[in-house]
């Protein structure tokens, strides 16, 4: 008994993990957990939580759950970033040691991409896409919940590594031989591969789901050429996911086989090639860049048209450029490792294909500007992010073209120039886009607006903080400061710029706090949206009440033009569309809530946890739970609930939308 206990303690909390920061985190997590459990039990909310949220298959609620998880992960990733910046603020600051620094930059990158950007995108897809195309739900509501729970349990598995066993420490790309078992024996990298494997399956399912939703569930009359740009980018993003995630799955799976079962894919001894992993990873990784930025392009296209009160300039050019970006993004992956030694011919091909992407992207930038041209612009917070995005993203894109020039890349790769470049595109593009989308669609999701004045504070802190952080990093890169450097001595001339950069990071952190305050304050005091159309919007989601009822549309609208809702309003049919006559309401079949997706995710989590620690019986138990959940899924024919027309009539009447 004593021996078993000490084995457990030693494995789960090895001496390397018992450092003050980790212990602090342990205590904090435990305390938060206790508080949550106590509050839920005191208020008798467990049943409510299970019935209304954990078992839900409603795309709008799943969207909210994605949003909450993404904001929590943004916090965690942001704390990682601040720890790194604190260490680099001045020469020889040893706030965290080299080993901890490795772990922190690894989890920062992994969390920000896989557990912050992706779920935030899926939050908006879930919340908006079905409303925008006039559908009652996504194509596969239960699989949608499966996607969420695979993501959530994957994220949980990744995050507990920090306190149980040790974090991954080989960078967010996890290249071998850094991840080879012989050189990296702890459970950290197993956590990395296992959690991304699990959440990656969920992401693939989301891709399939939204692709089919958009292809097959659009309202009558909404042809592809009448689809809003956000729906177009969701379509292309889903297609990208479909083609990009399988190579990642194989890369992660084979790495796991190497580490867990002694295969020789990427080991140095038996004919394996680490560069093969690098190729597979970036075969996923480059399309992934566009998976996270295309939705932002879609959001900006909606936001700019709404707040400039003009139809989007060059709609077809916008659509074609999204498609062009989607196709081209598969032909650029080698630019992440020009120094592999593939030879000038290969490098030139991939350098040129990378530069080519700048052309459709440039088309989009011009079209957004021309949309604003001559429009009556309202400077809301969402629009401010749009205005900040254009110059920020242009700089990110231009430095990208610079890095695509092979000889320049040989000089600049692995320096802070690169770090500044991709933050310019990922924050300037993706994060600004998602924040813009959140301010824009918040009333649709929750029924109230976020306070504009507080939002402007958050915006300016975030925007200025961004440039103060990453502007100096270009110069640091040119001065030769390499990335993933945990500390540096005096005398390199790097300390002034590093200090400025750290100040900027804290300003961004303050911006995040204001954002959170903005949300919490607006929950209580924000302006309620009773019209359903607070911004005088152009697309179908604004024809619905805020938030939309469970069934979305009491009567599916018929679309006759691009910017469907704007056209309905222009033709004076707005009230006709909004209000239904009692006899028009038909009985509906809606998907029934189910606990299956939760247990499926839990099974994967148990399996992952068992395999990470090589406790095979726990791993097998997890697989049994997974298979049992799938059987349950297959044998459950009672997956629909019938909604009586009277229920819908009552709901619509309460919303003031039922004709007497």
Which residues contribute to the site for another protein (CB under 8 A)?
A: 139-140, 204, 207-209, 211-212, 215-217, 220, 242-243, 245-247, 249-251, 253-254, 257-258, 261-265, 269-273, 276, 280, 283, 556, 558, 631, 634-635, 637
CB of 629 to another protein, least distance (A): 13
Q: How far is the CB of 252 from another protein (least distance, A)?
A: 11
Q: For residues 85 and 226, which CB has a smaller minimum distance to another protein in the complex?
A: 226
CA angle 563, 567, 573 (to 5 degrees): 140
Rank residues 253 and 311 by Cβ distance to another protein and give the closer one. Answer: 253
Taking the complex as a whole, the smallest distance from the CB of residue 563 to another protein amounts, in Å, to: 22
Task: Please tell me the distance from the alpha carbon of residue 130 to that of residue 139, in angstroms, as a whole number.
Answer: 9
Residue closer to another protein, measured from CB, 217 or 602: 217
Token output for 269: 């001894």
Q: Min. distance of Cβ 265 from another protein in angstroms? A: 5
Q: Which one-letter DSSP state was computed for residue 428?
A: I
Q: Whole-number minimum distance, CB 372 to another protein, in Å?
A: 37
375 burial type by CB count under 10 A (0-12 exposed, 13-18 middle, 19+ buried): middle
Give the number of residues written for the chain: 660
Closest CB to another protein among residues 54, 556: 556
Quick one: 113 or 139, whose CB is closer to another protein? 139
Please, what sign has the CA dihedral across residues 515, 520, 524, 529?
A: positive
Burial of 311 (0-12, 13-18, 19+ CB in 10 A): middle
- Smallest CA-to-CA distance from 302 within 564, 575, 576 is with 564
d(CA 607, CA 601) in angstroms, rounded, equals 10
Shortest approach of another protein to residue 246 CB, angstroms? 4
Q: Which is nearer to another protein, 211 or 388 (CB)?
A: 211
Q: How far is 654 from 447, CA to CA, in rounded Å?
A: 15
Cβ closer to another protein: 517 or 633?
A: 633
Nearer to another protein, 209 or 354 (CB): 209
Give dist(CA 268, CA 247) in Å, integer: 21
What's the rounded Cα separation, in Å, for the pair 418 and 551?
47
Residues β-bridged to residue 641: 590
Rounded to the nearest 10°, the torsion over CA 241, 246, 251, 256 is 110
- What's the closest the beta carbon of residue 114 comes to another protein, in angstroms? 18
Q: How far is the CB of 276 from another protein (least distance, A)?
A: 6
Contacts of 151 by beta carbon, 8 Å cutoff, 6+ apart: 66, 69, 115, 118, 119, 122, 199, 202, 203
Crossing angle for the helix pair 118-132 and 59-88, nearest 10 degrees?
A: 150
Q: Which is nearer to another protein, 221 or 656 (CB)?
A: 221
State the nearest-atom distance from the C-beta of 191 to another protein, in Å. 22
Classify 222 in phi/psi space as left (phi over 0), alpha (psi -120 to 50) or beta. beta
Rounded Cα–Cα distance for residues 137 and 214 (Å):
11
Helix axes 495-525, 452-478, angle to 10 degrees: 160
CB atoms within 10 A of CB 29: 14
CA max distance for the chain: 81
Query: In this complex, which beta carbon is closest to another protein, that of residue 617 or of residue 637?
Result: 637
Sign of the Cα pseudo-torsion (619, 625, 629, 631, in order)? positive
Least distance in Å: CB of 5 to another protein? 34
Q: How many Cβ atoms from other residues are within 10 Å of residue 581's Cβ? A: 11
- Range list of β-strands (E), 225-376: none
Shorter beta-carbon distance to another protein: residue 125 or 470: 125
Query: How far, in whole angstroms, is CA 427 from its chain's centroid?
Result: 12
State the first-to-last Cα distance of the chain, in angstroms, to the nearest integer.
Answer: 73
| Rg of the chain over all Cα atoms, to the nearest angstrom | 25
- Of the pair 83, 118, the CB lying nearest another protein is at 118
Minimum CB–partner distance for residue 270 and another protein (Å): 4
CB of 381 to another protein, least distance (A): 37
Q: Which of 282, 368, 376, 372 minimizes the C-alpha distance to 330? A: 282
- 6 or 576, CB closer to another protein? 576
Shortest separation between residue 556's beta carbon and another protein, angstroms: 8
**C-beta of residue 474 within 8 angstroms of C-beta of residue 498:** no
Beta-carbon count within 10 A of 169 CB: 23
Q: Which is nearer to another protein, 99 or 550 (CB)?
A: 550
CB of 280 to another protein, least distance (A): 6
């Amino acid at each position: 008994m004593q021996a078993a206990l000490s084995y457990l303690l030693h494995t789960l909390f090895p001496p390397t993990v018992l450092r003050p920061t980790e212990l602090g985190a342990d205590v904090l997590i435990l305390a938060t957990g206790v508080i949550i459990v106590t509050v839920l039990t005191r208020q008798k909310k467990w049943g409510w939580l299970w019935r209304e949220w954990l078992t839900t298959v409603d795309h709008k609620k799943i969207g909210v759950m994605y949003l909450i998880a993404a904001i929590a992960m943004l916090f965690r990733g942001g704390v990682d970033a601040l720890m790194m910046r604190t260490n680099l603020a001045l020469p020889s600051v040893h706030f965290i040691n080299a080993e901890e620094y490795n772990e922190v930059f690894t989890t920062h990158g992994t969390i920000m991409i896989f557990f912050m950007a992706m779920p935030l995108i899926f939050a908006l897809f879930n919340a908006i896409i079905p409303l925008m195309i006039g559908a009652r739900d996504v194509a596969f509501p239960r699989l949608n919940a499966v996607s969420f729970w695979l993501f959530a349990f994957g994220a949980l598995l990744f995050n507990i590594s920090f306190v149980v066993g040790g974090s991954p420490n080989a960078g967010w790309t996890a290249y071998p031989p850094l991840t080879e078992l012989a050189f990296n024996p702890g459970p950290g990298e197993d956590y990395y591969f296992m959690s991304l494997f699990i959440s990656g399956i969920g992401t693939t399912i989301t891709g399939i789901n939204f692709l089919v939703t958009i292809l097959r569930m659009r309202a009558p009359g909404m042809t592809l050429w009448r689809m809003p740009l956000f729906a177009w980018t969701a379509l292309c993003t889903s297609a990208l996911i479909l083609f990009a995630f399988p190579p990642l799955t194989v890369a992660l799976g084979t790495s796991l086989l190497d580490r867990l079962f002694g295969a020789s894919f990427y080991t140095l001894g038996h004919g394996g090639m680490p560069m093969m992993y690098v190729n597979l990873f970036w075969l996923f990784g480059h399309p992934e860049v566009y998976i996270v930025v295309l939705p932002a392009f879609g959001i900006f296209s909606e936001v700019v048209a709404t707040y400039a009160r003009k139809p989007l300039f060059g709609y077809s050019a916008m659509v074609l450029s999204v498609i062009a970006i989607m196709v081209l993004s598969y032909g650029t992956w080698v630019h992440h490792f020009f120094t592999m030694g593939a030879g000038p011919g290969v490098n030139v091909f991939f350098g040129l294909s990378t530069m080519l992407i700048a052309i459709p992207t440039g088309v989009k930038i011009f079209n957004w500007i021309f949309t604003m041209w001559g429009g009556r612009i309202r400077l809301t917070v969402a629009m401010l992010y749009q205005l900040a995005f254009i110059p920020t993203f242009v700089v990110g894109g231009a430095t990208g073209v610079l890095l695509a020039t092979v000889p320049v890349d040989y000089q600049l790769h692995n320096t802070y120039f690169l770090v500044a470049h991709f933050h310019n595109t990922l924050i300037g593009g993706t994060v600004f886009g998602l924040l813009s989308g959140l301010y824009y669609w918040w009333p649709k999701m929750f029924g109230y607006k976020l306070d504009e004045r507080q939002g402007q504070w958050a915006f300016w802190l975030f925007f200025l903080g961004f440039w103060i952080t990453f502007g100096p990093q270009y110069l640091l890169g040119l001065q030769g400061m390499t990335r993933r450097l945990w500390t540096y001595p005096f005398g390199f001339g790097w300390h002034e710029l590093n200090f400025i950069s750290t100040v900027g990071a804290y300003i961004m952190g303050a911006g995040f706090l204001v954002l959170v305050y903005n949300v919490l304050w607006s929950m209580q005091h924000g302006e309620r949206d009773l019209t359903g159309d607070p911004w005088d919007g152009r697309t179908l989601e604004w024809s619905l009440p805020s938030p939309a009822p469970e069934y979305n549309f009491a009567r599916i609208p018929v679309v006759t033009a691009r910017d469907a809702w704007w056209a309905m309003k222009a033709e004076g049919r707005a009230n006709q569309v909004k209000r239904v006559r009692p006899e028009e309401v038909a009985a509906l079949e809606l998907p029934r809530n189910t606990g299956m997706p939760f247990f499926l995710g839990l099974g994967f989590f148990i399996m992952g946890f068992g395999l990470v620690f090589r406790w095979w019986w726990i791993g097998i138990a997890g697989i049994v739970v997974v298979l049992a959940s799938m059987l349950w899924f297959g044998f459950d024919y009672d997956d629909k609930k019938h909604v009586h027309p009277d229920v819908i009539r009552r709901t619509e009447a309460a919303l003031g939308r039922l004709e007497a």
